[in-house]
Amino acid sequence: MDQRIIFIQFIFSEWYDAWLKSVPLNQMAIEGANMLRSCIIIFCFTVTPCMAVNEKAQKIAPIHSDHDHHKYQMGLTVDVDQNVTTPEKAQVHYSLSLETEADLKISQIREDQSADLLITLNKPRLQFSVTNSENENDLFNLTYDSSKENEPPLPPFQYITPVAKCLDGAEFTITVDTNGRISDLKSLKSFRRKLDKELDSSFPQEMKEQLCSTIESQATLVGMKYFTSYLPDHEVKLGDKWTGESTLLGLGDQQTWTLSELGENNLQVKKAYTVTKEQMERLVGNGIFKDAEAKVLESVHVDKQSFVVLSNQINASTKAHQKMPLPDGRDLDATYEVKAQLSLSKLQD
């Protein structure tokens, strides 16, 4: 046990004995004081040592071992409420949900603790819906679910279902460096071979090439790096703050992470920031939305012993105003409220 804790317990015991002798108390008061003393000593032997251990700086990169196997649920949800005032009043809700299971297995660990992780996607599913409370016409109210084969295909969704089938069982390998951060993405050629094998001639070749080009691009690696961007390149302790580059939106900003305790067995790394009006214009284009800012909260929960990720979640919300001319000469005037969540949650082994 930490010598400081032993010293504190000794000083407290000496003070308590001296105080008990100097103050006249009846037997009930003495028993109550002794019970309080016992509680304080128990606290010193249990809670205080845990606090002392957490004061020690350490790396929080996941500790990998041979044959590790973890399962995760990955998801992206976007909800958009559009309120149109001109040219015709409308209240439209758009909903998008993309989810898949991901099996993660350690395929190689090097001497410097960098590692290769094999990831297999299972049960990918895309859901999309549009509802217009001002218009009950089916053209303005539609739903799509890639897992339901019997649904009539709606352009351009007729191409999504076969792609989702190709993603089911697709494998690729990521490399993490000595700090646990994703540094490389490879073995995507197996997915391309699966596309060539399973997509029939009705699937446009140009679309297939574009899909493969997108998946194998540097942008995919940048997006994957987000899931380990919280990791510092140095040791940290509870309460520490450090900066890291945000890779998710491609803004290149330096943002601050904070390490805190979450319950008895978990640690939490989180950051909150605002995407400014100028940054929003860089993301969606100048003049499309007026005065739009986004509030973002990112939170990562890790196991306190192995530092394996238990959940990784980003929540973003924004309100925007759009005013633009339409091809028929009228103006579109609408407001938007957008909420998005990107999540990664560990499933029970």
Express each pLDDT in 95-140 by its tens digit: 999 999 999 999 899 988 899 999 999 999 989 888 887 666 555 6
62 belongs to a structural domain = no
Provide the 8-state DSSP code for 124: E
Per-residue pLDDT band at 78 (split at 50, 70, 90) = very high
Angle at CA of residue 215, ends 271 and 227, nearest 5°: 20
144 belongs to a structural domain = yes
Query: Any bridge partners for residue 259, and if so which?
Result: 269
Per-residue pLDDT band at 18 (split at 50, 70, 90) = low
Q: How many domains does the structure of the chain reveal?
A: 2
Residue 160: half-sphere exposure toward Cβ, Cα within 13 Å: 19
Rounded Cα gap, residues 196 and 205, in angstroms: 10
User: Containing domain of residue 320, as a range?
Assistant: 69-346
Same domain? For 175 and 126 the reply is yes
What's the chain's average pLDDT? 78
SS3 assignment, position 164: helix
61 belongs to a structural domain = no
Per-residue confidence (pLDDT) for residue 137, from 0 to 100 = 58
301 belongs to a structural domain = yes
Q: Specify the CATH number for the domain of residue 169.
A: 2.30.230
Q: Token pair for residue 163?
A: 């792609």
Same domain? For 268 and 128 the reply is yes
Could you tell me which residues come within 8 angstroms of residue 144 by beta carbon, excluding any fewer than 6 positions away?
126, 127, 128, 129, 151, 154, 157, 160
Same domain? For 86 and 37 the reply is no
Same domain? For 39 and 75 the reply is no
Residue 141: half-sphere exposure toward Cβ, Cα within 13 Å: 10
Per-residue pLDDT band at 34 (split at 50, 70, 90) = low
pLDDT over 90 (residue 175): yes
Same domain? For 106 and 245 the reply is yes
Q: Token pair for residue 297?
A: 């909260």
Provide the 8-state DSSP code for 347: P
Q: Token pair for residue 237?
A: 């302790």
Per-residue confidence (pLDDT) for residue 251, from 0 to 100 = 58
Q: Which amino acid is at 282?
A: R
Same domain? For 45 and 148 the reply is no
Same domain? For 43 and 150 the reply is no
CA distances to 43, 187, 217, 319 from 172, in Å: 49, 5, 14, 37
Same domain? For 28 and 156 the reply is no
Per-residue pLDDT band at 343 (split at 50, 70, 90) = very high
Query: How confident is the model over 298-317, as a mean pLDDT?
Result: 92
Per-residue confidence (pLDDT) for residue 48, from 0 to 100 = 40
pLDDT over 70 (residue 291): yes
Could you tell me which residues come within 8 angstroms of residue 118 by beta carbon, excluding any fewer than 6 positions away?
104, 105, 106, 107, 171, 172, 173
Same domain? For 192 and 339 the reply is yes
22 belongs to a structural domain = yes
Query: Any bridge partners for residue 186, and if so which?
Result: 173
Same domain? For 176 and 39 the reply is no
Q: What does the DSSP assignment read for 227-286?
A: GGTT--SS-B-TT-EEEEE--SSS---EEEEEEEEETTTEEEEEEEEEE-HHHHHHHH-T
Same domain? For 27 and 74 the reply is no
Query: How confident is the model over 298-303, as a mean pLDDT?
Result: 92
239 belongs to a structural domain = yes
Higher pLDDT, 149 or 176: 176
Same domain? For 268 and 336 the reply is yes
Residue 259: half-sphere exposure toward Cβ, Cα within 13 Å: 27
Query: How confident is the model over 48-68, as a mean pLDDT?
Result: 69
Per-residue exposure over 201-211, b if at least 16 CB sit within 10 Å of its own CB, e if not: eebeeeebeeb
SS3 assignment, position 9: helix
63 belongs to a structural domain = no
64 belongs to a structural domain = no
Provide the 8-state DSSP code for 58: B
Contact 282, 294 (CB under 8 A): no
Rounded Cα gap, residues 120 and 116, in angstroms: 13
